[in-house]
Amino acid sequence: MKDGYSAIEQSMNALIQSNPELQTDKNVQTALQTAVAAQQNIAPLMDQLTKLTPQYNSSVESFSQANEALSSITSGLQQIEDGVTQLSDGADELAQALQSGADGATQVATKSSELETGLNLITEGQRQLQSGLTELQDKMTLLQDGLAKSTDGLTEINDGLLEAKDYLSGLGASNKVFYIPQEILDGEDFEESLSMYMSDNRQTTKMMIILDVNPYSKEAMSIIKEVDEQVKAVSQSLSIKDAEFALGGKSAVNVDLQQMSSSDFARTITIMLIGIAIVLIIITRSIWQPVVIIGSLILAYFTTLGITEIISEQLLGQSLLSWNVPFFSFIMIVALGVDYSIFLMMRYREVEEKGAEGIIEAAKHIGGVVLSAALILGGTFAALIPSGIVTLMQVAIFVIVGLVLLSIMMLPILMPAVMGGSTKLIKVFKKDK
């Protein structure tokens, strides 16, 4: 600042020198004097400013520290304000918790009587449990005693069974004759045992035989036959050889039915074949043709029987046919075969003069009728298959297979071939003669 006033003084002196007329100018002189006076007064002022500068700097630092302190105070006040807010919220939550506690205390006071009642019930239950355990302990003691006694009883039973085994073993080696004391025979237990297997007059005895196979199977029937033979054979060597023996039950009934049907089957076959042969001889006026027809039907019957057994095993799971299937099937197949054969022979009578060609022509003419009849009858018997009864299902299969063989193989092929071949042979023999 002093240098500035000095520069002003020099500038004013230079201005006066360049313009002498300004030396008398009051303003210029006032400015010049002011610059000189300022230079004279600036030095003390600078000294004072120099002294005041450290104090000023110290004051500035103090103000900076004060500002920092104010910032810290402001931050602290903000934290205090946040703390007061949290404190207020905590006070509200505390008030709510106190209110909940008061309600809980009220409920506890209300439920105290119920709690007391429940505790009383628990106490009573514990007393009953203790009483029950005491009784159980007493019963366990009784049970232990009973088990000990039962063990002794089982030991005695075991000893008795061993003695009985030894007795029976000795009895088996003593020519199958054993002795029963009279007091046992007169006892009530023995009488009750006899009543289960003997009649009131003690003249009839019943023995039950339980088979370990299906009672409806052929195996069961074979067992019944063997039992019957064994009983008859053994009874002949005993004192009861004059007694009458009989077997009952479903298996025995099936055996009787099989025997009856077998005898009836043979008698029926004989009667049917003789009657059919007589009718065919009258219709055909020949002996050879009825023989061919009957032979074809018998061949068709046995062929159908074998095929039916195979189908039954594969589809029905039955390896054997029911005992009554062959009987009824023979009647059906022979009746149908003879019926169709009569149609064929009646048509052949009309063209008999054609010889071998005549039987072929007759087969052609009745082919449609036979096939239609076989189809209708086969469909009728097919309705028996869903019945679920094995016998009916096997009969239905037999008739269907037999109709197929008769209408496709026997009547249109086998019988015309045999008849045509026999006609040609007859002609050959006539030529040779």
* Residue 55: Cβ-neighbour burial (10 angstroms; 0-12, 13-18, 19+): exposed
Structure tokens at 65: 């520290």
Confidence at 126, pLDDT banded by 50, 70, 90? confident
8 A C-beta contact, residue 407 and residue 313:
no
Any bridge partners for residue 205, and if so which?
A: 198
**pTM of this structure:** 0.45
Write the single-letter amino acid at 272.
M
* 312: DSSP letter: I
Q: What is the pLDDT of residues 52-93, one digit of tens each?
A: 777 767 766 776 776 777 777 777 778 777 877 887 787 788
CATH code at 251-432: 1.20.1640
Q: What is the pLDDT of residues 332-380, one digit of tens each?
A: 888 888 877 777 777 777 766 666 666 677 777 777 777 788 888 888 8
Structure tokens at 320: 């054997």
Q: Where are the domains of the chain?
A: 2-120, 210-247, 251-432
Q: What angle do CA 222, 228, 233 make, to 5 degrees?
A: 125
User: Can you count the helices (H) and strands (E) in the chain?
Assistant: 11, 0
Selection from 288, 402, 385, 282 nearest residue 340 by Cα: 402
Q: What is the pLDDT of residues 151-194, one digit of tens each?
A: 777 888 888 778 777 766 665 555 555 567 777 777 777 777 77
Structure tokens at 187: 């006892």
Q: Give pairs for 25-32: CB < 8 Å, separation 24+.
A: none
Confidence at 433, pLDDT banded by 50, 70, 90? low
Structure tokens at 112: 């105290």
Selection from 256, 407, 277, 422 nearest residue 344 by Cα: 407
Largest distance between two CA atoms of the chain: 205
Contacts of 218 (CB under 8 A, 6+ apart): 320, 323
Structure tokens at 176: 């199958």
342 to 230, 293, 371, 409: CA distances (angstroms): 51, 9, 15, 16
Report d(CA 144, CA 333) in Å as an integer: 77
Selection from 430, 370, 415, 376 nearest residue 280 by Cα: 415
Q: What is the pLDDT of residues 130-143, one digit of tens each?
A: 787 778 777 777 87
